[in-house]
Structure formats: structure tokens, C-alpha cells
Amino acid sequence: MIVFHHPDSRGHNPDHYFRAGTLGGHPENLERFGMLHKGAFAAASDFRQAEDHGLSFIEKVHDPDYINFLKTGWQEAQKLGPGRRELLSTHFSTRILSRRPDSLMGQAGFYTSDTSTPLLEDSWQAIYMSAQVGISAALYGAEHGLAYGLCRPPGHHAYHNSAAGFCYLNNAAIAAEALKARLGGPVAILDIDIHHGNGTQDIFWERSDVVTVSLHCDPSNYYPYYTGYADETGQGAGAGFNKNYPLPPGTDDEAFTRELSDALAFIKTQNPKGIVISFGLDTAKDDPLGNFAVTQDGYSKCAKLIKSIALSTVIIQEGGYICDTLSDNLNSFLTGFGEG
């Protein structure tokens, strides 16, 4: 397995996270990155630092004003006064009769959707290079058939102009643009994180050149709550090119792989030239934020099913949080693809 990573991912290290009325440590932290790094390194036949491919693929996905906010927001926040460690809002735009304000704090609420996505001094470089990890993996995967991008921070909750759910730039969507450009045809994104890939769905909602499919916990009582239902199938040119598989809490290896087989069969009917896997380890039975029961053996079986469809495959890391099995679960998934 060829693994792409970048040390600048360590620059983003938020302190706190507000969840279900409780303030605690942020789960998308450096310890988590270290555990993913360990699991990826154990599975890697080649461990490569991502190159900087510039903004072109990022700009195909994200609004330029939003990119500029992520790039400059922390520096602008320093003008508001000393001692600030994070730029974070508690006042968020509903997108209904809303407009971009001039003030920085107003923009923080306009360009983010919750309190999980602060900007810190080195956040932009981590965010930017996380996307470059995805691009590097996509360009390699297009040529050689398989690659894994250890993207951190993750990306699938990021909309074209809004951060959410620990995500800033949508690494999978950006990787899909790079893969599509290199392969010269349509591609698919398969999201198997426990949370619905709401940002990814929205980005490609009216497009037919990127098929989007997501397996996730039923959002009627689980984040992101407002999207991920089975009747969401796309709109306009994208009608029929989005498919959701909301699954009940407690979904185990057998149920998850059964639905994955169905999702892969659907993807094959769309005749993509390649596939991006938005891979979340928060489906694991031990994950502190999850409520599924996928095991190490289940991850290996998932990898074999994905490999069986014989498409150029790019794996982009999404969720998966600190637990005793995090490194081993990632290793099981990556080694499940075997050699070659």
C-alpha cells in the first residue's frame, strides 16, 4: 500500500469541543493523528510525503472567498486583540435570507456551521496540506490503481463554502476532481464513515460526473441530523447520482458488508472510471463517537469487497477516534487490499 501523508497535519491542534451540552477535549487531536500514522505506517510498502499541487483542484470544489477566510482568518483575528488562541464563533448563519457580513466574527459564523472547527495559528497550513495529501493520493492512484491519503484534518462534512464537523476543505471531493481529471471520465465517491458525508453530497448534488454514495448511521437521531436520508437522490443533472444507506445503531460486520456489497453494485452500474473512498474508522465497535460494531475482520472484508470491483481506488481518511484498536483497524483495512 502506498501511503501519502504530510507532517504539517500536526499544526492543527484544537483544545476544546462542545458536544451534547458538555465541554471536553477535542477528539480530532494530535494523539489521534499519531495513532492513524502508526496504523498506516504498519501497512505501508511506501510512505511518501505529499507534494504541493497548488489551488487548482481545491478551487474546483470551494468558493474562493471561503478559501481566503480559512487562509487569513487567524491572522485577521490577531487584530482584534492579544491573547486569542482560536478563531471560533457561537453565532451561525442559517443560509436563509443570510448574507456575508463585513466583520470577522460575523464571517466566522458565516463560513463555519458549528463549534468544532476553530482556526488556530497553524491551522491553514494543516488544512491546505491535508488537501494536498488527497490530491497526491488521487494522482498516484489514477496511474497505479491504489493509494491511501492520511488526510488530517478530515473533510467530508465541509461544504463548498462552510466548515463543519472537524472538516474545512473537502479532501474527498478535491481528490475526486483530481482523479477525474487524470482518468478523463466520471468517478464515484463511496463514503463509509459512520456520519453521512453531507458536504460531499451537497457539492455534487446537481452533477452527474461524480456519483456519491454514503453508508452511515441513520441521521434521524445522529449527526449530521439534517441530511443522509434514503430519499435524497440528487437534483437536476445530478438526479439519480446520489444514494444513501442510513443504517441502524449497532450495525455489525455482517450487516455493514451486506449493504456495502449493494452500494458497490450500484456504483458499478454507473460505470465510473475510478473511485474515492471516504474512509471513517468511527464505525468501529470501540470508537468513542460511534455506535456501530465493525471489527478488524470486518474492515479487512470491506477492503476485499472494494478491491473486487477493480477500479482505480483512492482512500481518503475521514473519521475514527482514539480507542485501543484505532491503529490496528486502519492496518486491517489497508492490508485487506493485499499487494499489487
Strands (E), the chain: 2-5, 16-19, 22-25, 46-49, 146-149, 187-191, 210-217, 242-247, 274-279, 312-317
Placement of cell 463554502 in the chain: 161
Rounded to whole angstroms, the Cα distance separating 284 from 197 reads: 17
Catalytic residue chosen out of the listed positions 26, 37, 156, 157: 157
- Nearest-CA neighbor of 327 among 8, 35, 72, 23? 35
Residue with cell 477493480: 310
Tell me if residue 37 is catalytic.
no
Long-range pairs for 300-303: beta carbons < 8 A, 24 or more residues apart:
300/332, 300/333, 300/335, 300/336, 301/253, 301/257, 301/336, 302/192, 302/256, 302/257, 302/260, 302/333, 302/336, 303/332, 303/333, 303/334, 303/335, 303/336, 303/337
Active-site residue list: 157
